[in-house]
Amino acid sequence: MNVLVTGGAGYIGSHTAVELIHAGHKVIVADDLSNAKAEVIDRIETITGTRPAFYPIDCKDKAALDAVFAEHKIDAVIHFAAFKAVGESVQKPLAYYRNNLDSALTLLEVMEKFGCRKFIFSSSATVYGPDNPYPYKEEMPAVKSTSPYGQTKVMIERIIADYVAANPDFCAVLLRYFNPIGAHESGLLGDDPNGIPNNLMPYIGRVAAGKLEKLTIFGNDYPTPDGTCRRDYLHVVDLAVGHLKALEFAKDKTGVEAVNLGTGNGVSVLELVSAFQDANNIKIPYVFGPRRDGDLPAFWADAEKAKTLLGWEAQYSVEDMCRSAWNFAKNA
């Protein structure tokens, strides 16, 4: 299949591009490089031996997207392109609503114009919000998040569901991620955001590499065993494979399905720091800071639907995640 990967130079998008190429698909990447680097395309080529077509465009730019669809007969779209920092979204809600909603709407409009009917959406566990008990199950109501970032995912899921209802020949898979960490085994791809990282593992990696003085852990007074937030961390390569499985599922299906991608296990921030130290024999200095806006105390996935529907389950351990993250970060 010819697969358009929006945000394909980013962390999850680049790993997914690698898995798609390994599986024999042709990958076309669209990424405005607002939180990614152009050399990632070179690294995808180094790993796979195949260079994806690359368009440095904003997915809100309908004319630019039109040109990509006109150039390539796109069979399916995997949509990653979005602003993604929970805390930043609380401070800059308009930027998040404008960027994330506009890019999704524009993409769906262009897909409709060109008759492309397979859509894999990068959603988030944040759609389950503060009221659902964990582990989160797909049948739970996903109507309220604790941040504007999460609300954009709730809204786009609703838009997609309404679109599929009006277009019964369309297939969409809403992949609700938990917390991807780790890096490709080559050490060439990993989580390397522009500026100071908003996510935990790249921050730990930069502290370990001496680029940042210490890690700040946001909150140690949550109602959890060690006072720090508990999350469902999964290896980014496992997550990438989940997209490949979703694409294979969607190939001859119609309708819309929401699917969790997680391990089903909760790990606290302190436990993750300890695992990183043990796996790599490196000390990570840290301090506790105030809670971060939009963070919930704990959540993790019920991952059964991914196993039964997509034939997918996480393969990598927390130690694997920590070792691969450092293998990337020490050379980044």
pLDDT at position 87 over 90:
no
CA-CA distances (angstroms) from residue 139 to 28, 129, 178? 33, 13, 16
Which pLDDT value is given to residue 197?
86
pLDDT of residue 228: 98
Strand 267-268, strand 230-231: pairing: antiparallel
* Span 120-137, average pLDDT: 96
Beta strand segments in the chain, E: 2-6, 26-30, 53-55, 76-79, 118-124, 171-177, 179-181, 215-218, 230-231, 233-235, 255-261, 267-268, 286-289
Instruction: Say whether 128 is catalytic.
Output: no
Model's pTM, two decimal places? 0.97
Mean pLDDT over each residue of the chain, to the nearest integer: 97
Assigned fold of 2-182+233-262+302-310: Rossmann fold (3.40.50)
| Contact by Cβ (8 Å): 15, 87 | no
Q: What is the pLDDT of residues 203-223, one digit of tens each?
A: 999 999 999 999 999 999 999
pLDDT at 198: 82
Q: Which of 149, 203, 222, 233 is catalytic?
A: 149
Token duo for residue 175: 């992949």
pLDDT at 35: 92
Residue 252 pLDDT greater than 90, yes or no: yes
Residue 143 pLDDT: 94
Vertex 244: Cα angle to 241 and 246 (nearest 5) = 110
Residue 158 CA neighbour count, 13 Å, CB half: 12
Residue closest to 199 by CA, chosen among 75, 292, 73, 314:
292
Identity of the residue numbered 105: L
Q: Which of 142, 318, 310 is nearest to 233 (CA)?
A: 318
pLDDT at 332: 84
The DSSP bridge partners found for residue 6 are 30, 79
Element at 238 (helix H, strand E): helix 236-250
